[in-house]
Amino acid sequence: MIRHVVLFAWTSEATDKQKQQVAEELRALPPLITGLRSFQVGPDVGLIEGNFDFALVADFDDADSYLAYRNHPAHRAVVEQVIDPVAKQRVAVQYET
């Protein structure tokens, strides 16, 4: 299984509505994705100073399933239209679990 982990930091101009839209549109993706075992996103809860702002953790059957998600048109649309406008930084790792 491949776990895909992404952390985002939002720009200071990002609005609460924009941040909420990121979460909502990402949460609408799982029914469209083949080989996806779990998918959870959420905003940082504010316990620790200096954290990034938002996390995504998704488990896929294998690397091919992850890459199909990465390239899926519905995912690309969320990235380009909803995430990119508010993302100051994005860091990611895929690891075997």
For its own copies, the closer CB: 36 or 41? 41
By CB under 8 A, name the binding residues for its own copies. 2-3, 5, 7, 9, 40-45, 47-48, 51-55, 57, 63, 66-67, 70, 89, 91-97
Q: Smallest gap, in angstroms, from Cβ of residue 18 to its own copies?
A: 18
- Burial pattern 12-42, b for ≥16 Cβ within 10 A else e, equals eebeeeebebbeebbeebeeebebbeebebe
For its own copies, the closer CB: 32 or 42? 42
For its own copies, the closer CB: 31 or 48? 48
Maximal C-alpha separation, the chain: 37
Rounded CA-CA distance 35/32 in Å is 10
